Amino acid sequence: MESLKQKTLKGTLWSTLERFSVQGIAFVVMIIMARILTPDDYGLVGMLAVFIAVSQSLVDSGFSQALIRKQDRSEVDNSTVFYFNIGVGIVLYLILFFCAPLIAKFYNQPVLTPLTRLISLSVLINSFVVVQRALLTVKIDFKTQAKASFSAAVVSGVVGITMAYTGYGVWSIVWYQLTNLTVNVGLLWVFSKWRPKWTYSWKSFRELFGFGSKLALSGIIDTVYKNIYLIVIGKVFNAADLGYYTRAQQFAEFPSSNVSGIIQRVTFPILCTIQNDDDRLRDVYRRFLRLSAFIVFPLMIGLAAVAHPFIILVLKEKWEFAAVLLQIICLSMMWYPIHAINLNLLQVKGRSDLFLKLEIWKKCIGVMILCATVPLGLEAMCWGNLLSSLIALGINTHYTGKLIQVGFLTQIKDLIPTLVYSLTMGAIVWIIVQILPNNILRLLIGIIVGIVYFLAITKLTRSTDLRELLSFIKISK
């Protein structure tokens, strides 16, 4: 039997490999395609993001998390969820198909009608593999998921780049996404040993839905809120502005969301196994918090410091305005892994009701801030999102304190050393970027100095987080 630490290390290793290898390929593909395509092309796809994202949340409906959390799940449970997912996927695809003209009319972009009908196929395709992913996650088997995701990234990358070079414009982005999902789903079916039984139980449905429905509603609220910026920018501004925003957001999400995703995928099944041991849960939880901040804070602040030379060198001057937005978004998204761990704890403790309550409060506050900043422009909207993120942190940590006595002050105390190291590193790198004469030197020397400074200061101050990370890496080998 593997120990909890061994399971955590193994799961984290493969989840990290999957996330960063797959996203690394996607990152390179995005850069190549963005240099060929225009901000308007990405803006058009961004206009549809909220509809696809909400539909994906509805397909899952919180059932995957409910399956992962349930200790005595049965084949009846698995099959029930499988058939429910497919049924919802079919219904949602038909809704999006027939509503496509309305979406096009809303944005005053006729091309969105055929685009919506094509890209909506992703909702139906994804419905076939929700259970397989959940069961692999229960086993902390991210190796299988990594193989499927990596293969899909390579195949779809070739398709996307080829279509972009041959003049397909915005359609190359859509076919890139569809190919990625189709290959991934197909391979998971091949690799996974699980197959659905010809059975369905309303009793099982009600039990799983009781927990999952609140998470689903929370997820929908969160998804709509995250994408409401895309709706507002696409409606109030223009497709090019939305293109700048989505590229900046994608660059910021690469380190932040990937680390958050790794943490959520690994910590949830791990913490579920010790959900009734509060002392052990508290200790493991705080270690996850510190380690995630130690990785994400310097990455995000460093990226913000070199944003201008990075964007110009990678995407060319036509994308320069995206650098301004990237700097602000990085400061907001550096807190996402902390949010993820806090919210994971609520699920581990079975408090999906509290999870939903928090989402409603946070999103109401966020929408008010959004309404106040829209008239001030795109940059003001990004600063408002940062404020929303900090307020959400306070709300999340308040309830974590009630559940396991690790509240806002305790968490901030744990994170302050890494935050100070990261901010001072970011300031030094930013000064270097202002002084040096060309973008290549700014980027290269800024990155090198940032890495050297951060490692040196954490070594000199004998950071426990550095020792924890080095120990983690050593054991993982």
pLDDT by 10-residue block (mean), the chain, 477 residues = 52 60 78 84 84 80 69 77 87 93 90 93 88 76 78 92 91 93 90 83 76 67 76 81 84 74 60 61 73 86 92 84 90 81 66 69 86 89 89 76 67 84 93 88 91 89 70 47
Contacts made by residues 154-163, CB under 8 angstroms, sequence distance 24+: 154/25, 155/179, 155/180, 155/183, 156/29, 156/180, 156/183, 157/25, 157/26, 157/28, 157/29, 160/29, 160/33, 161/29, 161/32, 161/33
Say if 258 falls within a structural domain. no
User: For residue 377, what are its two tokens?
Assistant: 């422009």
Helix (H, G, I), strand (E, B) or coil at 331: helix
Say if 255 falls within a structural domain. no
**C-alpha span between 278 and 285 (Å, rounded):** 10
What size, in residues, is the chain?
477
Look-up: residue for tokens 């989840």? 15
**C-alpha span between 269 and 365 (Å, rounded):** 31
Half-sphere exposure of 105 (CA within 13 A, CB side): 5
Say if 246 falls within a structural domain. no
Phi-psi group of 167: left, alpha or beta (phi > 0 → left; psi -120 to 50 → alpha; rest → beta)? left
**Same domain flag for 215 and 276:** no
**Same domain flag for 117 and 182:** yes
Say if 379 falls within a structural domain. yes
Say if 298 falls within a structural domain. yes
Q: In the prediction, which pLDDT does 71 show?
A: 66
**Same domain flag for 270 and 230:** no
Q: In the prediction, which pLDDT does 253 show?
A: 79
Q: In the prediction, which pLDDT does 477 show?
A: 43
**Same domain flag for 138 and 202:** yes
Q: How far apart are the first and last CA of the chain?
A: 19
Give 290's contacts (C-beta < 8 A, 6+ positions apart): 414, 415, 418, 464, 465, 468
**Same domain flag for 193 and 297:** no
Residue 381 structural domain: 264-477
Q: In the prediction, which pLDDT does 438 show?
A: 86
**Same domain flag for 183 and 293:** no
Q: What is residue 109's DSSP assignment?
A: -
Q: In the prediction, which pLDDT does 475 show?
A: 42
Q: Can you give the C-alpha Rg of the chain in angstroms?
A: 22
Q: In the prediction, which pLDDT does 476 show?
A: 42
Say if 194 falls within a structural domain. yes
Decide which of 236, 254, 287 is a domain's last residue. Answer: 236
**C-alpha span between 273 and 22 (Å, rounded):** 28
* Nearest C-alpha neighbor of 269 from the set 56, 75, 469, 15: 15
Please state, as a whole number, how many other Cβ atoms lie within 10 Å of the Cβ of residue 459. Answer: 11
Say if 248 falls within a structural domain. no
* Nearest C-alpha neighbor of 56 from the set 151, 141, 8, 124: 124
Q: From the DSSP assignment, how many helices (H) and strands (E) are in the chain?
A: 20, 0
Identity (one letter) of the amino acid at 69? R
Q: In the prediction, which pLDDT does 378 show?
A: 87
Q: 48 φ, ψ to 5°?
A: -95, -5
